[in-house]
Amino acid sequence: MKRCLIISAGEIRDYERVKSFLQPDDFFIFCDGGLIHADGLGLKPDLIVGDFDSCDSETLARWKDSCETVRLPREKDDTDTLFAVKLALERGYSDFLLLGAMGGRFDHAMGNVSILLYLHGLGKRALLVDDYSQMQIVGKEPFFIKDNCSYFSVLTVAGDVSGVTIKNAKYPLENAKLSADFQLGISNEVLPGKVAEVSVEQGKLLVVTVVE
């Protein structure tokens, strides 16, 4: 099954960096105002979804007749991005890359991080990429970070986390408990020539890696 890319209306300033994550056979879903990124990314939408409250009519008219379009009501429980994720799940996708999901409105950014939690809970692969970093959820399955990473952070975004172990890093941890009201794990570094390992016994972490 191909990977599903979901492009939202958040900030993308460095298109060349983001384009390095694309694969030739990706399936592209653009969410509402995310269509503003189509030209910068050099992509043609496979599917467009949204209530189109943040997409100008000229941009929408340019694309809507060349691909499948799903128009949503403005009053709904799901954001356009979450609806796109659920639609892709219904169509059998299990590997996701979220773009344009950060920057701009903080509430939407936090909502998009929660989509990573949602997909992880379903046993799906999900990565969120912005201009500066990569983000994904880590649970009991160990996560490895190469030393080409400038720094990485482990954040508690779904309540307290216990049994956190970080190896081969400047600030190691061993069977630690991280609290949601004190983000201890910001700006760690992989030791030169090593591969850092992050593992969790109970709970979920958001791991943010930055390669400059």
Convert the pLDDT of each residue in 147-171 to its tens digit: 999 999 999 998 899 999 999 999 9
Give the model's confidence band at 55: pLDDT under 50 very low, under 70 low, under 90 confident, else very high. low
Alpha-carbon gap, residue 89 to 123, rounded angstroms: 11
Percent of the chain with pLDDT over 70: 94
Neighbours of 86 (CB within 10 A): 13
Co-location of 61 and 115 in the same domain: yes
Give CA angle at 61 (21, 56), nearest 5°: 75
User: 118 and 143 in one domain?
Assistant: no
CB 2 within 8 A of CB 28: no
Which residue type occupies 59? T
**Whether 146 and 104 share a structural domain:** no
127 with 141, same domain?
A: no
For residue 133, what pLDDT is reported? 94
The H-or-E segment that residue 17 falls in is helix 15-19
Is the CB of residue 169 less than 8 Å from the CB of residue 188? yes
Say yes or no: 84 and 167 in one domain: no
- Count of the separate structural domains present in the chain: 2
The tokens for 70 are: 């799903």
Range of the domain at 39: 4-131
pLDDT of amino acid 154: 96
